[in-house]
Structure 1
Amino acid sequence: MADLVERLVPDELWVLFRRVPPTEVIRPQGGGRSRAGDREALAAVIFVATSGCTWRQLPSVFGPSWQTVYRRFAQWSRARVWARLHRVILDELGARGELDWSRCAIDSVSLRAAKGSLTGPNPTGRGKPGSKIHLITDRNGLPVSLGISGANMHDSLGLEPLVWGIPPIRSRRGPRRRRPGKLHADKGYDYDHLRRWLRQRGIRHRIARRGIESSGRLGRHRWVVERTVSWLAGCRRLHRRYERKAEHFLAFVGISAALICHRRLTK
């Protein structure tokens, strides 16, 4: 069991995670069983995220019961632990000069969903309920901003919240940075008001134009965000949304993004 935990949560990831979890709850009356270890619970959560199994199918080799792991996951999700972990890893990458802000790309991906908040009829899935993941990546394909919505939300409506959602990230030299030099996007973002908004923010844009540019070409720089979407699919829990609570679905998106960035950090 120890080998499995160390494989899913290596020492480098555990050191970073210890900087973000909420304070441990202490029973005022004392007594009771000793609290399950956070590292074992984190390994179990990552196993659920990457394997796509249900909480009830969680193997007992991790130690904590599936109920304990789910409660810990819900507690961490409410405390936005996964977003903070992603931010900590981005800071480490930025301090090492691993983030390339010269050209960023924005895109989204739709997936089937059960009933729940932030779902909607998927226009590309015969109107069945679905959700959408929105993301911005740097030039290397590392996700720097994430968001979710119903599948019926137009891509263009996610551009401004995603750009505002880029956190101030450490740089190898100089102040923190949260603004890309240039943003690449497909035809779903082809609106003049978005171009004006990006210019006002000091961000150059390269947005494909409807009726002018071919739909079959991703472009020299925008293909990296498509590759990141396939990396997110490595988190099998994101193949279809089963979480009724939006914060739990967003948590799995954050876990997947954190694992993608951590792989780059340990190369």
Structure 2
Amino acid sequence: MAASRMPDAFFDLAAHHLPPERTANPSGGRPPIDNRSIVRALWFVLTTGCRWEDVPGELGCSGRSAHRFLQLWEEMGCWDRLHADLLRLLHQADKLDPDLVIVDAVMVRAFGGGASTGPSPVDRRKKGTKHTLLVDRHGAPLAIRTAGANASDHRQIIPLVMDFPRVGGKPGRPKELPDELYADRGYDSDGTRRLLAWLGIEPQIARRKTPHGSGLGKIRWVVERTIAWLKGLRRMRIRYDRSPVLQDAWNTLAVCVICFRLLHDGDT
């Protein structure tokens, strides 16, 4: 259960990107919930995968209140700013290499359906969602996009690349786009290769119906490890939220947790 307890250092970073704490009403009434308790409850739900109703009262924030603030802070851009800050700190600590990126995806079941879901080709056409990740050479998640489980892999690359973050943390202008992109056979498309080359990115995408042993796996393995870390956050194993805003919030909060663990532990 140690992983379900939010480290104080995580909130210290997140606090700079959250709205100011609300003050108590001098006329009385219910006291406002402090930001630390809200983030603590969100960390607990993300790591344990529990229902909102099962959030322990001792965390200082009910599950329903945490649910409300998760969506509100996503709409305010708080999680995106936290992610950008963590990437900056990773770059500053030489734990991020934005020159080379790797792409891969993971499919999860979507109970109840919702936006960006579709019949899963690997789960008897049950409703599912596909999360496509863009990571750097060390496995740090740079971007994540959600689509229906039946969405073509090669159509996810270009929108994901356009989400490439401009990471600061070192002298000089931040990179607009990576130099190289690696992906497996599921992303094989000559049209995608031409678009990537036009953007100035060298595509290293394995071709279908060719013998294995290209050697690309020696670089691509880090994205599979990051996917394992993502699924280690139990709320990300199954999609329960129909709302695309809530799903985007979980996506960004999950990659923030992974970046934080890379920054402080070197491994998750």
TM-score normalised to structure 1 length? 0.91
- Report the secondary structure of 2:192's partner residue: helix
**Which stretch shifts more, 145-154 or 82-91?**
82-91
Q: Within 5 A, what are the aligned runs for 1:164-183? A: 164-183=162-181
Cα RMSD of the aligned pairs, angstroms, is 2.4
CA distance in 2, matches of 1:25, 1:6: 29
CA contact (8 A) 1:97 1:172 kept: no
Indicate yes or no: 2:44 matched with 1:47. Answer: yes
Unaligned runs of 5+ in 1: none
CA distance in 1, matches of 2:211, 2:3: 48
CA distance in 2, matches of 1:35, 1:185: 47
Deviation at residue 11 of structure 1 after TM alignment: 3.4
Deviation at residue 79 of structure 1 after TM alignment: 2.0
CA contact (8 A) 1:5 1:62 kept: no
2:17 maps to which residue?
Answer: 20
CA distance in 2, matches of 1:209, 1:60: 53
Q: Within 5 A, what are the aligned runs for 1:227-266? A: 227-266=225-264
1:8 maps to which residue?
Answer: 5
Deviation at residue 131 of structure 1 after TM alignment: 0.4
Provide, for residues 108-129 of structure 1, a one-character-per-residue CA deviation record: whole Å limited to 9, x for no partner.
1111002211111111211110
- Aligned residue pairs total 264
1:206 maps to which residue?
Answer: 204
Q: Within 5 A, what are the aligned runs for 1:103-114? A: 103-114=100-111
- Report the secondary structure of 1:18's partner residue: helix
Deviation at residue 5 of structure 1 after TM alignment: 11
Which of 54, 69, 74 is residue 72 of structure 1 equivalent to? 69
Provide, for residues 4-26 of structure 1, a one-character-per-residue CA deviation record: whole Å limited to 9, x for no partner.
99983333322221221235567
TM-score normalised to structure 2 length? 0.90
Letter in 2 for 1:207: I
CA distance in 2, matches of 1:82, 1:51: 20
CA distance in 2, matches of 1:218, 1:209: 11
Indicate yes or no: 2:201 matched with 1:194. Answer: no
Deviation at residue 257 of structure 1 after TM alignment: 0.8
CA contact (8 A) 2:183 2:204 kept: yes
**Which stretch shifts more, 60-69 or 234-243?**
60-69
**Which stretch shifts more, 216-225 or 153-162?**
216-225
Percent identical: 36
Unaligned runs of 5+ in 2: none
- Report the secondary structure of 2:144's partner residue: strand
Deviation at residue 144 of structure 1 after TM alignment: 0.4
Letter in 1 for 2:100: R
- Report the secondary structure of 2:71's partner residue: helix
Deviation at residue 215 of structure 1 after TM alignment: 8.8
CA contact (8 A) 1:103 1:221 kept: no
Quick one: structure 1 residues 27 and 63, their matched pair in 2 at CA, closer, same or farther if it must change by over 3 Å? closer
Structure 1 stretches of 4+ with a deviation exceeding 6 A read: 4-7, 25-30, 215-218
CA distance in 2, matches of 1:90, 1:264: 10
CA distance in 2, matches of 1:220, 1:11: 36
1:58 maps to which residue?
Answer: 55
